[in-house]
C-alpha cells in the first residue's frame, strides 16, 4: 500500500494543538490595512481555532486520524 501524501498547502497553513484542535491564521490582514482600525489589526494577529466541521476536512488533508 503506498503512503498517503500530506497536502503541502494545508501543512503550511494549519497547525495542531496538543489536544488535537486545528489552529489557523486569520484572513483580512495582509493588505489594505490603512482603513482598518488598530484594534482590528491587533485582534487579527491572534491564531484562531477552526470549527469542528472545518477541522474534519483539514485533518483529512493533513492525514491525521
Profile the chain (65 residues) by mean pLDDT over runs of 10 residues.
Answer: 93 96 95 95 96 96 90
Note the residue count of the chain. Answer: 65
Residue 51 located in a structural domain: yes
Q: How many domains does the structure of the chain reveal?
A: 1
Which range marks the domain in which residue 35 is found? 8-61
What is the pLDDT at residue 13?
A: 96
pLDDT of residue 1: 86
Domain presence at residue 16: yes
User: What's the pLDDT at 65?
Assistant: 77
First to last CA, the chain: 18
**According to the model, what pLDDT value does residue 14 have?**
97
Amino acid at each position: 500500500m503506498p503512503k498517503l501524501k500530506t497536502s503541502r498547502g494545508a501543512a503550511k497553513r494549519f497547525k495542531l494543538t496538543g489536544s488535537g484542535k486545528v489552529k489557523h491564521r486569520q484572513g483580512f490582514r495582509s493588505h489594505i490595512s490603512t482603513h482598518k482600525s488598530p484594534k482590528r489589526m491587533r485582534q487579527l494577529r491572534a491564531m484562531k481555532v477552526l470549527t469542528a466541521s472545518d477541522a474534519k476536512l483539514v485533518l483529512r488533508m493533513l492525514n491525521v486520524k
